[in-house]
Amino acid sequence: MSEGNRIGIGYDIHRLVEGRKLVLGGVDIAFEKGLLGHSDSDVLTHAICDALLGAAALGDIGTHFPDNDPQWAGASSLEFLSRVVEMLTEKGYRVHNVDATVMAERPKLRPYVQSIRESLASALQVDVDQVNIKAKTNEGLESVGRGEAIVAQAVALLIT
């Protein structure tokens, strides 16, 4: 562990498909499609995990929770996040704050933002005011704009 503040960045994208539940930040979102992937495919939580792991120089989510490991089939990504927080604690880091953006053309995510913050703050073991979530559309552009995918970006600051 090195002393001082450490910043990390995370990005993720998942394809939107029929027949899957949509979960963002651990919160079930009412929508006719969900994100495709091995776990619950919570793209927001994945981006946050990567930001935290990046800040601690601990690699990325695929290193720790490989998507070919049957153990993680259908797993809640909040479980990944809790495990990441354990790894950070072991290395002597605390989460100072997390900021993230979710880009989805539909559904409207604003009504869910507060529940998502609370869900993530709980898994991160921080106060809600240490977690910010911004929801945007992609203005109809590219895969997100066509409703084919959801993207999330995150930054995290760790302190010793």
Quick check: 46 binds Mg ion (CB under 5 A)? yes
Binding residues for Mg ion restricted to 77-106, rule: CB under 5 A: none
Please, which residue, 6 or 46, has the CB nearer to Mg ion?
Answer: 46
- Tokens of residue 128, six digits: 């809600």
Please, which residue, 109 or 150, has the CB nearer to Mg ion?
Answer: 150
Of 43-51, 109-117, 137-145, 147-155, the window that binds Mg ion (rule: CB under 5 A) is 43-51
- Tokens of residue 93, six digits: 């880091």
Of 8-16, 91-99, 103-111, 144-152, the window that binds Mg ion (rule: CB under 5 A) is 8-16
Please, which residue, 74 or 92, has the CB nearer to Mg ion?
Answer: 74
Per DSSP bridges, beta strands 6-18 and 22-24 are unpaired
Least Å distance between CB 159 and Mg ion? 26
Phi, psi of 70 (to 5 degrees): -60, -25
Least Å distance between CB 37 and Mg ion? 6
Q: Dihedral, CA atoms, 68, 70, 74, 75, nearest 10 degrees?
A: -100
Of 4-12, 23-31, 105-113, 139-147, the window that binds Mg ion (rule: CB under 5 A) is 4-12
Please, which residue, 66 or 140, has the CB nearer to Mg ion?
Answer: 66
Quick check: 12 binds Mg ion (CB under 5 A)? yes
The footprint of Mg ion (CB under 5 A) covers 12, 46
